[in-house]
């Protein structure tokens, strides 16, 4: 029997964590490929169904590398992106109280797919100061069980972690709800006093980038809202 030493313990931990993280990464990647395919299908269907109504409304699917895909529809873009790392949750998080996780604690480790809303012009004119809005986060473990943390219906329709693998119908529903939220979430003008003075640098930025730094929310900027939603609660486990 091998002597139990700190170094041997390190090797055991590495074997367990490395295998688990790789499995979660592969599972999340497989699910993300399905999300990309369904987003492309939705875009194709939207374009076919809408072209007779107004051919000038652009509906276009595109990919930006292996971990990001876009669906542009009129003035909005839905961005889906997969994080390359694996995450856990803080001890007080509700996930840790589930029997599903208590029975096998490794089930709490998840990959993440993010859903963002950006203005189409932010990407078109490369306005790097513009803000996007996080709509939801899909957490997926090694067993392909999932839940969604998000805005509106995304925040409560898909929160039964440990009740089954993610289905194609659920992927479509998540994407369709995200698209609806993008279109219902309007761009609001900021208060006059907040934009009545600009620096020369800002004026030059406007001339070269077609507009002020822009986002939806409460006027042009809503960084405090975005900060509160950007990352999951819990310690990161590097992937």
Per-residue model confidence as pLDDT tens for the chain (239 residues): 557 899 998 888 888 888 999 999 999 999 999 999 999 999 999 999 988 888 888 999 999 999 999 999 989 999 999 999 999 999 999 999 999 999 999 999 999 999 999 988 888 888 777 788 899 999 999 999 999 998 878 878 898 999 999 999 999 999 999 999 998 877 656 666 765 666 666 666 555 555 555 656 533 333 333 333 333 444 443 33
Distance of CA 82 to the CA centre of its chain: 7
Most distant pair of Cα atoms in the chain: their distance: 76
Kindly state whether residue 31 falls inside one of the protein's structural domains.
Answer: yes
Q: What is the pLDDT of residue 137?
A: 96
* SS3 call for 236: strand
Residue 178 lies in a domain: yes
| Number of domain units in the chain | 1
The pTM of the full predicted model, rounded to 2 decimals, is: 0.79
Q: Which two tokens stand for residue 135?
A: 């709509």
Q: DSSP letters along 172-222, please?
A: HHHHHHHHHHHHHS---PPPHHHHS---HHHHHHHHHHTSSS--SSSSS--
Yes or no: say if 119 and 217 are a contact pair by the CB < 8 Å rule. Answer: no
Q: Find the DSSP H helices in 70-157.
A: 99-103, 120-124
In a domain, 140, yes or no: yes
Distance CA 85, CA 87 (A): 7
Asked whether the CA dihedral 34, 39, 45, 48 is positive or negative, the reply is negative
Assess if residue 55 is contained within a domain: yes
Q: What is the pLDDT of residue 207?
A: 57
107: in domain: yes
SS3 content of the chain, % helix, strand, coil (to 5): 45, 20, 35
Cα–Cα dist 42/31, whole Å: 16
Rounded to 5°, the CA angle 28-184-83 comes to: 20
Domain of 121, in residue numbers: 6-237
115 neighbors 80 (Cβ within 8 angstroms): yes
Query: What's the confidence (pLDDT) of residue 200?
Result: 65
Q: Does a structural domain hold residue 1?
A: no
């Amino acid at each position: 029997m091998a002597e139990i030493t700190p170094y041997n313990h390190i090797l055991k931990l590495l074997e367990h964590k490395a295998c688990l993280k790789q499995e979660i990464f592969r599972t999340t990647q497989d699910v993300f490929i399905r999300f990309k395919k369904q987003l492309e299908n939705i875009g194709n269907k939207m374009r076919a169904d809408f072209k007779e109504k107004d051919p000038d409304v652009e509906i276009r699917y595109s990919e930006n590398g292996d971990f990001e895909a876009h669906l542009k529809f009129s003035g909005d873009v839905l961005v889906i992106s997969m994080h390359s790392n694996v995450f856990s949750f803080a001890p007080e998080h509700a996930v840790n109280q589930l029997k599903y996780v208590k029975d096998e604690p490794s089930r709490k480790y998840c990959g993440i797919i993010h859903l963002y809303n950006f203005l189409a012009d932010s990407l078109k004119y490369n306005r790097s100061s513009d803000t996007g809005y996080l709509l939801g986060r899909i957490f997926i473990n090694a067993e392909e069980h999932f839940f969604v943390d998000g805005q509106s219906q995304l925040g409560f329709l898909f929160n039964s972690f440990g009740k089954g693998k993610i289905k194609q119908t659920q992927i479509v529903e998540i994407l369709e709800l995200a698209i609806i939220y993008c279109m219902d979430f309007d761009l609001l003008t900021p208060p006059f006093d907040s934009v009545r003075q600009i620096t020369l640098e800002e004026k030059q930025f406007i001339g070269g980038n077609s507009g002020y730094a822009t986002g939806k929310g409460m006027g042009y900027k809503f960084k405090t809202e975005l900060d509160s939603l950007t990352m999951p609660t819990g310690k990161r486990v590097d992937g």
